[in-house]
Structure 1
Amino acid sequence: MLEARELLCERDERTLFSGLSFTLNAGEWVQITGSNGAGKTTLLRLLTGLSRPDAGEVLWQGQPLHQVRDSYHQNLLWIGHQPGIKTRLTALENLHFYHRDGDTAQCLEALAQAGLAGFEDIPVNQLSAGQQRRVALARLWLTRATLWILDEPFTAIDVNGVVRLTQRMAQHTEQGGL
């Protein structure tokens, strides 16, 4: 269970959000929408523990994040709005880099599920923005993390990619993920 209690976030003299509270249980998901600059990424960074709120707290399994940071991060997959990939590596090498315990067959299957069959050995810097995003999102087919926090996951993704990603997210929540 992920819980936000009375979160407050201010930037300069502007309040991005105040008194924000919610609980997310196993098998549930939430999509955060809002205009540019509204604080969506800021909220996600608070939920990952990368930033701290000006007031309030984030809890994982009923415990404040700062008390369970290691176990929380073992259960978390965070993919920010930047793909977070190594552009000089191939798509396959990127998956091996992030999932050292994953064997080649698993990584190839993840790339295929993400719609990148045939692009495994191409350096990422030679792929389109959408293909690069798919390389980052291929981690969703490899991870054992319970909680996924994805910032703008559909950015640069075509319709087929959105369908694949949506199906994977639904599968994850059906299996008790958040």
Structure 2
Amino acid sequence: MPARSTNLPDRFDLDRVTTPIGTALLVTDAEGALRALDWEDYEQRMRELLRLHYGTVDLREQPAPTAMRIALERYFDGDLGQIAGIAWRIAGTPFQQKVWTALAQIPAGTTMSYGALAAKIAMPRAIRAVGHANGSNPISVVLPCHRLIGANGSLVKYGGGLERKRWLLRHEGVEV
């Protein structure tokens, strides 16, 4: 459920949520939309992505909306469809936004190759560009970049570490 915004905020709220695979950092805007979800051990990378997409922003320690926290807890408890209802906003190039929006359409329990995603967005020769956009996805789990795999079915790259990617895929019922 994306919402696009041309106004770049100067402040975001930061919350921390305990999950089975580590502490998740949730960054939300004033309207309660998710702007970033990353892992505590990758906080510096998350902050750099925020800077690249929004410029200088202040992160204020503030709880994320209750409904968002509950949806994430339920996802990690096995109700995989819960993350589809989380409101999110992204800033990035039009190409990045196209890739990230397509990520949200990959169903839980399935995977897709980078090439298949490039074809899905009608840019079949943009496999590497899809990989780069996927690597700068600011909203882990909700925009499920973990569902992208190599053409040969191998697990390749995940900003939160391959062990987390493996866990997320198994959690969703994908044998890896």
Q: TM-score range by the shorter chain?
A: under 0.3
Alignment TM-score, normalising by the size of structure 2:
0.24
TM-score normalised according to structure 1 size: 0.24
Higher relative contact order (CA 8 A, sep 6+): 1
Larger radius of gyration: 1
